[in-house]
Amino acid sequence: MIVIPALNLRDGASVRPDTGTRDVDAGHAADAIALARSWAGLGFSRMHITDLDAASGRGDNASLIASLLYNIEAPVQVGGDVRTFEEIDRLLQASADRVVIGAQAIEDGGWLADAAAQFPGRVAPGVLVRDRHVVTRDRTVMARDFLSVIDDWNELPLAAVIVTVAQRHRHVRGTDLFLMEDLTDVSLNPVIAAGGITTLSELRDLEERGVSATIVGWALSAGRLDARTLAEEFPQA
């Protein structure tokens, strides 16, 4: 398993979303390029970027993302409410290694299948889960069991499946290990856990359950986890 540091972008800076809300803790803005370079220098072999402005429909950080992709040698996966093939192609042409697809992947399964066929191994659906059901863009909880969605995706050439457990992420309470274990049993695509992970023991438990990678953001920016320790304990592939 590898650990993937996360950059959350808003208003042209790397920010730390406040725990429990989508608002930004403005006191923790950072130079995104310098931060990413420092992580790469420690040996992290992949970065995760989320454009919070694009995700919330309040603009975008396209120019900063382009600068990050140009300046970071490590592979980068980028997301932020991507909804069109043109957006996927633009990000890949700008040197993104993968594009993360959010609600669009859930709301239009045919679109996701077409995207995976057009960009094999380059798109990764990011899914928010509550009580083992998928949460949609408008925060509606789908009736269909989450694992059945994952089973459908096994036919697609995805880069990975990224899963955040909603109620635990919101309160920075780690992830659902039972869900992740079931998920790795079902999914033929690599599984990436995201959201609320704050301790080394959680990371070790996820590794034992077959998770291929974890995305860590808040815990790094808040100092709950040490970047050097993570890079050393989870050798980067």
The CATH classification number of 2-233 equals 3.20.20.70
What is each CA distance from 91 to 4, 86, 98, 113, 180, in whole angstroms? Answer: 19, 9, 8, 19, 29
Q: Which pLDDT band, with edges at 50, 70 and 90, does 169 fall under?
A: very low
pTM: 0.90
Residue 236: pLDDT over 90 = no
Residue 190: pLDDT over 70 = yes
Report domain extents, the chain: 2-233
Residue 185: pLDDT over 70 = yes
Residue 170: pLDDT over 60 = no
* pLDDT digit string, tens, across residues 15-60: 876 544 444 454 455 688 988 999 999 999 899 999 999 888 888 8
DSSP 68-93: HHHH--S-EEEESS--SHHHHHHHHH
Nearest Cα residue to 204 out of 182, 177, 179:
177
